């Protein structure tokens, strides 16, 4: 049997040379692996950055389309929310991949780390306080050891930091004095609190109100947050403050209501609000009436008033608008029908149709994109009706004209409508009648056509009055806070709770219409309303308050 021959040489020098060669190859392989890893990390970072940029552009495009095509804003709201969430995740992914690429490139000498192009960071707001932290300078030169150092300049790095919400107790001291002559005791009056013998300051109450009705945070969640910050407050205690605050702000609510009902044209709408009942929840209603003269260049400030009711009977809008007459822009709700009676005691109310509602009925039957999405998911796609698609295109032409005349005077708007919109409306009326004769009266398209034809005088109202808007979107925008809040607080606890919500929503949404910070306004008003003269209470209304604050700042 022959002995096995070793493939390794017996010479030590040869073994060293072989080992050196093996180490070189291993080092080259390691470097090559590091380069491949760096290139792969850069590719991943580039792909993540590109995907984030595409999502950002899609989001911008969706926002611009929503602004341009206001009538279709309802169908894009959910898509925008999805775009926002996806964009957030993609940006986070891109940041992680960029750091991974930087770490991988640091292991090589030939591959540069991928660097994502980012917009220049805006400076932090000037009103934020600055805390200056100076890093100690060296006592001597680190290069030559000399201590002859002179200051050349400085570089400042700004870091945004947050201080947790701070609480404090204000002690108001009222000294007592006695008269040596008459032996009477005198003492300054106690400070005003919204709640009799109360304890909550105006800023705290403003935060409580705004978080509940403006940010949709129920009181039990606020109480949990306060407890985490070391301030244990029960829900019943906080609820007492809400009730007292709404009661104190009732005069301003009445003034806003009077201002809204002084308008010659109103937007009206309603939405559901669940109300707790015995063993179940009933469906209540929140109604809103909006005064907004900005589309025709009016100088009166915008405002909105909310009302609560336990049901949707027509008696409620009749009560809300009992003494009012003018032009009402609303949907086709039958409860408004008695308001349009010609022999109405307090004066006629003219109906102005909402083209957004009419367009929506056709759009649901011509949603090409929605059908394509369902088909891609393997779901049954709805039928696309050419008549409905054509109707949407004709209505979009009217909205295009309205966008160009938005903000003009009523006379200019009316002249443009008579020139451009009136022929389109006449053509639309003839076309709708012609299409209606071709299809069954029970068809969905026929129902959408009849919705317009049966209210044709209301839909042509804008051709006779330059103040009338083409849609009722102003009321729908102001009412959007209710469905947003429903997802958080789920239902009102009682009818009184619904009424308090109507008061709070009226104040907060009116502030937003006038571009006023609701919480700042509430805090200032609650601090001043007790000592404010009754005949000057109008100065506390959001639009007057804003003008006063601007003058003081100037």
Write down the pTM of the prediction.
0.76
* In the predicted structure, residue 71 carries a pLDDT above the cut 50: no
Give yes or no for a contact between 340 and 349, defined as CB atoms under 8 angstroms apart. Answer: yes
C-alpha separations of 486 from 218, 278, 311 in Å: 10, 20, 17
* In the predicted structure, residue 225 carries a pLDDT above the cut 80: yes
With a CB cutoff of 8 Å and minimum separation 6, the contacts of 280 are: none
**Phi/psi of residue 168, nearest 5 degrees:** -150, 155
pLDDT of residue 382: 66
Mean pLDDT of 275-283: 75
Residue 279 falls in which region: left (phi positive, over 0), alpha (psi -120 to 50) or beta: left
Mean pLDDT of 169-190: 88
Give yes or no for a contact between 472 and 356, defined as CB atoms under 8 angstroms apart. Answer: yes
pLDDT of residue 73: 46
pLDDT of residue 266: 94
Measured in whole angstroms, the distance separating CA 375 from the mean position of its chain's CA atoms is 32
pLDDT tens string 148-175: 888 888 888 888 787 878 888 988 888 9
Distance (Å, whole) CA 368 – CA 384: 7
Is residue 224 exposed (0-12), middle (13-18) or buried (19+ Cβ within 10 Å)? Answer: exposed
* In the predicted structure, residue 284 carries a pLDDT above the cut 80: yes
Runs of H (alpha helix) within 210-345: 219-228, 235-248, 250-261, 315-320
Q: What is the DSSP string of 432-474?
A: HHHHHTTS-TTSHHHHHHHHHHTTHHHHTGGGT-TT--S--HH
User: Is the model more confident about 126 or about 65?
Assistant: 126
pLDDT tens string 131-145: 888 888 888 888 888
pLDDT band at 193 (very low <50, low <70, confident <90, very high): confident
- Work out the widest C-alpha separation in the chain, in whole angstroms: 137
User: Is the model more confident about 493 or about 212?
Assistant: 212
* Mean pLDDT over the full length of the chain: 83
pLDDT tens string 20-32: 777 777 777 777 7
User: Is the model more confident about 198 or about 183?
Assistant: 183
User: Is the model more confident about 57 or about 505?
Assistant: 505
pLDDT tens string 352-396: 999 998 998 888 887 766 655 666 666 666 677 888 889 999 999
pLDDT of residue 1: 43
* In the predicted structure, residue 540 carries a pLDDT above the cut 50: yes
pLDDT of residue 66: 63
């Amino acid at each position: 049997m022959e002995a096995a021959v070793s493939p390794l040489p017996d010479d030590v020098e040869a073994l060293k040379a072989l080992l050196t060669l093996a180490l070189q190859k291993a080092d080259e392989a390691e470097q090559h692996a590091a380069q491949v890893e760096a290139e792969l990390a850069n590719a991943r970072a580039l792909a993540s950055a590109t995907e984030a940029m595409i999502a950002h552009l899609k989001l911008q495009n969706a926002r611009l389309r929503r602004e341009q095509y206001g009538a279709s804003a309802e169908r894009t709201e959910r898509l925008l929310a999805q775009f926002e969430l996806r964009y957030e995740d993609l940006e986070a992914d891109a940041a992680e991949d960029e750091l991974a690429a930087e770490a991988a490139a640091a292991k090589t000498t030939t591959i540069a780390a991928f660097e994502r192009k980012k917009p220049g960071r805006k400076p932090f707001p000037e009103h934020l306080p600055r805390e200056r932290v100076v890093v100690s300078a060296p006592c001597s030169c680190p290069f030559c050891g000399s201590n002859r150092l002179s200051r050349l300049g400085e570089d400042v790095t700004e870091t945004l930091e947050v201080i947790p919400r701070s609480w404090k107790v204000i002690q108001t001291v009222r000294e007592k004095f006695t008269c040596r002559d008459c032996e009477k005791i005198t003492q300054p009056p106690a400070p005003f609190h919204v709640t009799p013998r109360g304890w909550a300051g105006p800023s705290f109450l403003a935060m409580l109100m705004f978080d509940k009705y403006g940010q949709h945070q129920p009181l039990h969640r606020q109480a949990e947050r306060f407890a985490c910050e070391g301030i244990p407050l029960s829900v019943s205690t906080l609820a007492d403050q809400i009730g007292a605050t709404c009661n104190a702000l009732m005069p301003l609510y009445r003034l806003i209501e009077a201002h809204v009902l002084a308008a010659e044209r109103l937007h009206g709408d309603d939405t559901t609000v669940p109300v707790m009942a015995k063993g179940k929840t009933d469906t209540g209603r929140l109604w809103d009436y909006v005064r907004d003269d900005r589309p025709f260049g009016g100088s009166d400030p915008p405002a909105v008033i909310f009302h609560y009711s336990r049901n949707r009977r027509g008696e409620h809008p009749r009560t809300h608008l009992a003494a009012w007459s003018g032009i009402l822009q609303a949907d086709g709700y039958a409860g408004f029908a008695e308001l349009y009676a010609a022999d109405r005691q307090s004066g006629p109310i003219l109906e102005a149709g909402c083209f957004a509602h009419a367009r929506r009925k056709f759009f649901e039957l011509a949603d090409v994109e929605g059908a394509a999405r369902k088909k891609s998911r393997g779901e049954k796609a709805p039928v696309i009706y050419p008549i409905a698609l054509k109707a949407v295109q004709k209505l979009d032409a009217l909205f295009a004209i309205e966008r160009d005349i938005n903000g003009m005077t009523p006379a200019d708007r009316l002249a443009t409508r008579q020139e451009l919109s009136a022929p389109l409306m006449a053509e639309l009326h003839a076309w709708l009648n012609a299409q209606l004769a071709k299809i069954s009266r029970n068809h969905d398209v026929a129902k959408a056509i009849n919705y317009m034809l049966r209210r044709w005088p209301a839909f042509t109202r804008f051709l006779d009055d330059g103040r009338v808007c083409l849609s009722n979107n102003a009321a729908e925008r102001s009412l959007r806070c209710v469905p947003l809040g429903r997802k958080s607080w789920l239902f009102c606890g009682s009818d009184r709770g619904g009424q308090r919500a109507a008061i709070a929503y009226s104040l907060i949404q009116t502030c937003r219409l006038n571009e006023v910070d609701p919480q700042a306004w509430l805090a200032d008003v609650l601090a001043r309303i007790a000592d404010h003269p009754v005949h000057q209470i109008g100065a506390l209304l959001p639009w007057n308050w804003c003008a006063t604050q601007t003058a003081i700042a100037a």
